[in-house]
Amino acid sequence: MLFPIDEYDARVKCVREQMAARDLDVLIIDQSEFLAYVTGFLISENMYRACLLPRDGDPIMILRAVDLGPFAESSWLSRSVAFADWEDPVQVLANTIRSLSCAEGRVGLDEDSYCMPLSRFKHLSAQLPDADFVDFSGVMALLRARKSAREVAVLRRAAAIGDLGIDAALKASGEGRSARNAAAAVYQVFMQEGADAARAGIITAGVGNAFLHGGLTCEPLARGDVLHMELLPYIDGYSARLMRSAVIGEIDPARSQLARRLIEIQDRQFEAMKPGASAAQIDALARDAMLAGGLRRDYPNITGYALGCYPLHSPRTSDFSRIFLPTADWTLEEGMVFHMYVSADGIAISETVLVTATGHECLTRSPRQVFQV
């Protein structure tokens, strides 16, 4: 189990407060991120699985019998209903809801859940024709937005591994080496330092303004090329992130000036990050300066998004429950953690940033510069 039992007790209490506000009898929790939040169990969806949280009493995990071992090792839950691979997990879910005397009650579910497509919901509702299904969308994301001190400690460890990964990637890079060489060095560090067996990150050539999601290549890098590194160190599903760029050979003056301007703009953005700050205004500090300074002709992407626990098997590689955009209508709170980034003309820099009681703290500590290799 990643955290002591009182961490999960506090989470369940918060979820139940939201259930009470909606007069729910039982809540279906099935998305990977939310299952990890409530149960501590990280599991894929080869077959449907879910946790039932009743208004009173212990939660119940519904899962494949083959997964009982890992569940017992990693979760604090003591109640479970296991099914054989030839059984219908939705039928097992419905039967369990019926056993809780909730078949005619108010059943909460997340209508945005990627684990509850329309066909599955139709199947479930046919099994429980007298249930009143109530939307719980967005609630769990809000509850996870502020990280506990224990969660921050895990993110801090992940950030430190990311810093080591950048150093290893730089040592493995150079003229005639490829992005794949750098990625291999990052993977080795991640495994040695205790990170999850997940993605090393996006390690690719930095070209133009649309390179952030580029692919890993084996093509040798030449003098003047830019190696873009976005590292994604995970620990038990919790991910820190950072971006750095490395120029192969000499850095020309124009590129050095661009890097300095990007860092200056982002430093001003970071200084404004504190509890109560407007997300839209934080975004504008970077976006408006980039555009006004001519660093980009347009800036269609966000300037930051939430970080936390989203396991590798989740279809979401980033948590967009809180994002920095001109239209953002939310404010920063103590304990929130974000991946903040700026990029232009092949150069990108980012940090994992914690909102503290009085301001911010960068959890990633790799030197804020464009490297030369």
DSSP of 32-77: HHHHHHHH------SS--EEEEESSS--EEEEEGGGHHHHHHH---
What is the H or E stretch that residue 114 is in?
none
Across the chain, how many H-helices and E-strands are there? 10, 17
pLDDT, average across residues 283-305: 95
Which residues, 6+ apart, have CB-to-CB distance to 51 below 8 Å?
Answer: 28, 29, 30, 35, 38, 39, 59, 60, 61, 62, 77
Q: Considering only CA atoms, which of 242, 319, 358 is closest in space to residue 32?
A: 319
Domains of the chain as residue ranges with CATH: 5-144 (3.40.350.10), 149-372 (3.90.230.10)
pLDDT for the residue 206: 67
pLDDT for the residue 208: 54
Tell me the one-letter amino acid at 240: A
pLDDT for the residue 210: 59
pLDDT digits (tens, 9 = 90+) for 154-164: 999 999 999 99
Whole-model pTM? 0.94
Asked whether residue 242 carries a pLDDT value surpassing 70, the answer given is yes
pLDDT for the residue 315: 82
- The span from the CA of 155 to the CA of 351, in Å, is 12
pLDDT digits (tens, 9 = 90+) for 45-67: 889 999 999 999 999 999 999 99
**If you average pLDDT over every residue of the chain, what do you get?**
94
pLDDT for the residue 346: 87
pLDDT, average across residues 83-97: 97
211 — pLDDT class (breaks 50, 70, 90): low
Choose between 143 and 313: higher pLDDT. Answer: 143
pLDDT for the residue 111: 96
- The span from the CA of 360 to the CA of 336, in Å, is 10
Asked whether residue 212 carries a pLDDT value surpassing 70, the answer given is no
Asked whether residue 16 carries a pLDDT value surpassing 90, the answer given is yes
209 — pLDDT class (breaks 50, 70, 90): low
Asked whether residue 369 carries a pLDDT value surpassing 70, the answer given is yes
Q: Considering only CA atoms, which of 310, 372, 364 is closest in space to residue 164?
A: 364
pLDDT for the residue 366: 97
